């Protein structure tokens, strides 16, 4: 996939469980050094979709004290049926339960940890519009667009394209931009958009901001470009903001 600057991953959420997760957070110096820590939660692969909220509420409760924000991941393609939580009553019921739990946690810890929902790049416009309508109703603060894709559009390397898993990197940049554009149009401004998907240059980070993102994230770009990509994106966004301000003077 090197030629396409892409990855197909089918990792799923293999992990050592919540308590080890918390121990790892406590060992990390990231937050002490001023880093913003976002924690990402999903359901276990052996929890049925009907019981999914149990896993989200348990993770939310245990992780709440340690997070600067929490991402509710309902879009990973590698956990069976997870993406069905993005639609209809499954989304409404999950967010309702999360909102109730969040009220309790806000009182206990005397802080309101921002919550973001992470969505798939494979959603159709009517699904995006539904999500846009529902998220503010349940007090969600952010939407992260997007996760990896089941589509193999824009992939030239056909040797690996039939492999199962989620596609990330360059081929999904434009698709995730389209989703961000639609969100910007449809979602209430109380919900901030975080743009992610195929950022491999500072210019692409700016494109995500121009489309309506408040912040950006990247993953696959780190593999192809290394950590220097982070500096490149920060510089590009800073310069862009500066030039935008000048044009208003």
Ligand X SMILES: Cc1cc2nc3c(=O)[nH]c(=O)nc-3n(C[C@H](O)[C@H](O)[C@H](O)COP(=O)(O)O)c2cc1C
Q: Please identify every residue annotated as catalytic.
A: 76
> Segment contacting ligand X (CB under 6 A): 9-17, 31-39, 43-51, 238-246?
9-17
64: left (phi over 0), alpha (psi -120 to 50) or beta: alpha
DSSP-derived letter for residue 154 is: T
CB of 216 to ligand X, least distance (A): 9
Phi, psi angles (nearest 5°) of residue 144:
-105, 115
CA 43 to chain centre: 15
Name which position in 91, 123, 196, 205 contacts ligand X (CB under 6 A): 196
CB of 231 to ligand X, least distance (A): 16
Residues in contact with ligand X, counted by CB under 6 A, come to a total of: 21
165: left (phi over 0), alpha (psi -120 to 50) or beta: left
Question: Cα–Cα distance between 236 and 18 in angstroms, integer?
Answer: 37
Q: What are the contacts of 20-27 at 24+ separation with CB within 8 A?
A: 21/63, 22/62, 22/63, 22/66, 25/66, 26/66
> Segment contacting ligand X (CB under 6 A): 133-141, 155-163, 166-174, 230-238?
166-174
Contact code string over 171-190 relative to ligand X, x by CB under 6 A? -x------------------
Percentages (nearest 5) of helix, strand, coil residues in the chain:
50, 15, 35
The reply to whether 197 sits near ligand X by the rule CB under 6 A is yes
CB of 88 to ligand X, least distance (A): 21
The reply to whether 44 sits near ligand X by the rule CB under 6 A is no
CB of 196 to ligand X, least distance (A): 5
Contact code string over 199-218 relative to ligand X, x by CB under 6 A? x------------------x
Radius of gyration of the chain (CA): 18
Residues found near ligand X in the complex (CB under 6 A)? 7, 9, 11, 13, 40, 73, 76, 118, 147-148, 168-169, 172, 196-199, 218-221
């Amino acid at each position: 996939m090197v030629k396409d600057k892409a990855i197909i991953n089918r990792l799923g959420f293999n992990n050592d469980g919540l308590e080890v997760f918390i121990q790892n957070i406590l060992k990390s110096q990231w937050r002490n050094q001023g880093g913003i820590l976002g924690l990402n939660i999903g359901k276990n692969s052996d929890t049925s979709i009907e019981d999914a909220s149990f896993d989200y509420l348990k993770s939310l409760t245990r992780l709440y004290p340690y997070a600067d924000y929490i991402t509710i991941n309902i879009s990973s393609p590698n956990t069976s049926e997870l993406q069905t939580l993005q639609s209809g009553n499954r989304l409404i019921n999950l967010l309702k339960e999360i909102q109730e739990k969040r009220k309790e946690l806000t009182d206990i810890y005397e802080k309101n940890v921002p919550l973001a929902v992470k969505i798939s790049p494979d959603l159709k416009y009517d699904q995006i519009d539904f999500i846009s309508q529902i998220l503010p109703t349940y007090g969600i603060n952010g939407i992260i667009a997007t996760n990896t894709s089941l589509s193999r559009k824009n992939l030239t390397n056909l040797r690996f394209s039939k492999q199962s898993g989620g596609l990330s990197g360059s081929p999904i940049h434009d698709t995730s931009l389209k989703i961000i554009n639609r969100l910007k149009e449809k979602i209430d401004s109380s919900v901030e958009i975080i743009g992610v998907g195929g950022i491999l240059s500072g210019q692409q980070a700016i494109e995500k901001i121009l489309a309506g993102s408040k912040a950006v994230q990247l993953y696959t770009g780190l593999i192809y470009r290394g950590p220097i990509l982070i500096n490149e994106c920060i510089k590009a966004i800073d310069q862009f903001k500066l030039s935008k301000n000048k044009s208003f003077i």
